[in-house]
Amino acid sequence: MTEQEQTVKQKQELAGGEHTRPGRTYVPEVDICETADSLWLWADMPGVDQHSVDVNLADGVLSIEGRVSLQEYENLSPVYTEYNIGNYLRRFTVTADIDADHIKARMNNGVLELELPKSARAKPRRINIATS
């Protein structure tokens, strides 16, 4: 078995922008996939529950925001930390034509999963050729 060096990836703190909540704000890591019918997005937001997430799609911009309650950490004296506590914010410009009324979101173990279904006109379709 070969030895491999493990490197710790640092969380990316949000640069600039407005901070309307106390504490730090981080950029959640995401995976985005596309199928013929939908765009799928998974965002890592540890410490965020389903009641502390806002998802909005307006004017072609998808915004996801997750808030972490800092009360659980107020009386702790960290000895060593790699897990940074903070809120999450990420925005995307969505160029696909999305059916906003049918977007589905669920939170599972700190991972936000979004299904953004494409509208009927954005889905690929077969065009029948008429015979003469």
Question: Using CA atoms, how far apart are residues 7 and 31, in angstroms rounded to an integer?
Answer: 21
**Confidence tier at 11 by pLDDT (50, 70, 90):** low
**1: pLDDT confidence band, cut at 50, 70 and 90?**
very low
> How many Å apart are CA 24 and CA 37, to the nearest integer?
36
Tell which wins on pLDDT, 85 or 106: 106
- Chain centroid to Cα 86, Å, comes to 15
Residue written as token pair 């509208």? 119
Distance CA 41, CA 57 (A): 13
Going by pLDDT thresholds of 50, 70 and 90, the confidence category of residue 75 is confident
Q: Indicate the domain borders of the chain.
A: 25-122
DSSP 80: S
Return d(Cα 28, Cα 110) in angstroms, integer: 11
Predicted confidence (pLDDT) at residue 17 exceeds the cutoff of 60: no
Q: What is the CATH number of domain 25-122?
A: 2.60.40.790
pTM over 0.85: no
Report the 10 Å Cβ neighbour count for 117.
19
